[in-house]
Amino acid sequence: GAVVSQHPSWVICKSGTSVKIECRSLDFQATTMFWYRQFPKQSLMLMATSNEGSKATYEQGVEKDKFLINHASLTLSTLTVTSAHPEDSSFYICSARGKGPGPNYGYTFGSGTRLTVV
């Protein structure tokens, strides 16, 4: 089945530094990737949608200059948290969707990245 690999699984960084999270589709071409973040005890909140080769579309309230999304190939999308601050500490999850037989083609999620900013 479809597999999405997300790295790193956890990262601790100092306040003010940048962190890059990678999301790779291992056995299919991901035409669309979605990035979510999840705070403790809360649900997943959509941050942005990216289509291969296009600029990402960000949800309202998500700073595009702070959360840089690159989807340069059909198998790789990256999320860079720039100038991270403690309030950016969260669980970040990617989801990939490929071409398929129709609108029901599956959404496959990565295992998530726990970011802690100290």
| Residue ranges binding other proteins (CB under 8 A) | 4, 6, 31-32, 34, 36, 43-46, 49, 51, 91, 93-95, 97, 100, 102-112, 114
14 or 103: CB nearest other proteins: 103
Which residues make beta-bridge pairs with 30?
A: 98
For 99, counting Cβ atoms within 10 Å of its Cβ (0-12 exposed, 13-18 middle, 19+ buried), the class is exposed
DSSP state of 6: E
**C-alpha radius of gyration, the chain, whole number:** 14
7 or 83: CB nearest other proteins: 7
**Minimum CB distance to other proteins, residue 2 (Å):** 9
**Minimum CB distance to other proteins, residue 88 (Å):** 18
Dist CA 11 CA 19 (whole Å): 8
Residue 88, SS3? helix
**Minimum CB distance to other proteins, residue 98 (Å):** 9
43 or 60: CB nearest other proteins: 43
